[in-house]
Structure 1
């Protein structure tokens, strides 16, 4: 049948979602990587900023005290793109937030509960903030 297409071949035990970080009680509105890609910051409708160890998923710090009327919607303290020109692929999120893209082509479909409100890219790793309050960290293939 011509309407069925095969996706990319991946290893049987491969899982794009390396970590799901839980701890916010509101939608995650902003995520950013530290310049060295070792930390992920997430800002939420629960009026907190959480700092996460990108390798272990451990919440290292919670910053609270934002006013009652303001969600944390922007994190300007970190650079969100590593700019590593040596990577063979450039990853991102499609404009409708339904796909992870690779070189601007739809590559990995995201189920509705995992579609991001915000995201940041550092090399081949994407951090995505969801309405559920989760932060997903996905490490994707860095080479062909």
Structure 2
């Protein structure tokens, strides 16, 4: 499993364990279930959460890096605050999170930097995207050994 997948699945499981959304690696949910998806917002169910990891910076000599976790939410049709009801508790669960290990990586800290309303789609479902910046202790490599390459 790659490091991006470790983080995505780790955060999905963390949110599911907190009771904030359902996580099924197959991405199949009942229409009335708030499900977590990877990278792409599906057309259904109406209420959904999508997680995406974006690499931002990596230390060239040590296995430390910064990544951005985008948490995108979509609410029920015609209810402009439903997406906030979905993402506000996720903010509470993630902002300030420290020392969590997912596979071979440890998230040193997780801090939200921005929360952006994204309007509504053609089905009148309001969307929002929250971006969390992560400091991550990654697995060491030949060029980025555990105690640095200097």
Question: TM-score, length-normalised on structure 2?
Answer: 0.24
**Richer in strand (by share):** 2
Question: TM-score, length-normalised on structure 1?
Answer: 0.25
With CA pairs under 8 Å and 6+ residues apart, which has the higher RCO, 1 or 2? 1
**Richer in helix (by share):** 2
